[in-house]
Amino acid sequence: MSSPSNFSLIPPSYVDNSVIISVLIIFQIPSIICALFVLYQFIIKRELYEQLHNYAVFVLLVCSTLVITTELPISLNYLIKSIVYPQIPGFCLFWGFWYFTTTDTLIVFMAWTSVQRHLFIFNPNVFRTKRGRLIYHYIPSSICLLYIPFMIIIFMFINPCNNTFNYMQFLCGYPCFFQQTSVVTFHLIVNLCVPTSFTIIAILSDVN
């Protein structure tokens, strides 16, 4: 069994980079156009944003737009050049922080959105009062948005480990916390597996 340090979010080297680049660009361009169009609709039609059940959609849209307009170009630049640029530690730290913050926040917030959607369908009365909206909407939504950045800051900047950057590898060889079995196991289970499971369970319960 491979160790956590060998975990990779990028396909193996035997997959032609040109294929990966082409697929990403093909989907990136229409994704940006669609995202900007929907965001524009939220801006000009305030009633869309003000409706409580649309708030999660708006947040997910903003997070997704940040991924495809800021993080994806960095990943594409690496895939095209097969090298990280600029080759400075600060950029590697920023890339790692931004990559895990944006992608993991999407996963966690999607889980909460799925649970909240279940409440909207089967128990909408909890949102009728200010206290209910605070407890079942604003507080958990804020926690989901702040939790991942907070954890990534701890993992990458407070956690006592030394980063060794390799500018020939994706994410400069990954942050050093990927070398720590307990930390990376916590990250994979709590930040990825658990919210993904919640999303699946919530969706299936809505169907049934």
Domain with 116 in it: what CATH number? 1.20.1070.10
What is the residue range of 57's domain? 4-207
**pLDDT for res 15:** 55
Mapping DSSP onto H, E and C, the string for the chain reads: CCCHHHCCCCCCCCCCHHHHHHHHHHHHHHHHHHHHHHHHHHHHCHHHHHCHHHHHHHHHHHHHHHHHHHHHHHHHHHHHHCCCCCCCHHHHHHHHHHHHHHHHHHHHHHHHHHHHHHHHHHCHHHHCCHHHHHHHHHHHHHHHHHHHHHHHHHHHHHCCCCCCCCCCCHHHHCCHHHHCHHHHHHHHHHHHHHHHHHHHHHHHHHHC
Q: 195 with 143: CB under 8 angstroms?
A: no
| Residues 6+ positions from 165 with CB-CB distance below 8 Å | 84, 89, 92, 172, 173
Count of structural domains, the chain:
1
**pLDDT for res 8:** 46
Give the pLDDT of the chain (208 residues) as one tens digit per residue.
Answer: 444 444 444 444 445 678 888 999 999 999 999 999 999 998 898 788 778 889 999 999 999 999 999 999 999 999 999 999 999 999 999 999 999 999 999 999 999 999 998 899 889 999 999 999 999 999 999 999 999 999 999 999 999 899 999 999 999 998 999 999 999 999 999 999 999 999 999 888 866 5
Question: HSE on the CB side for 17, CA within 13 Å?
Answer: 11
Q: 7 with 180: CB under 8 angstroms?
A: no
Q: Report how far residue 191's alpha carbon sits from residue 31's, in angstroms, rounded to the nearest whole number.
A: 25
| Residues 6+ positions from 111 with CB-CB distance below 8 Å | 144, 194, 195, 196, 198, 199, 202
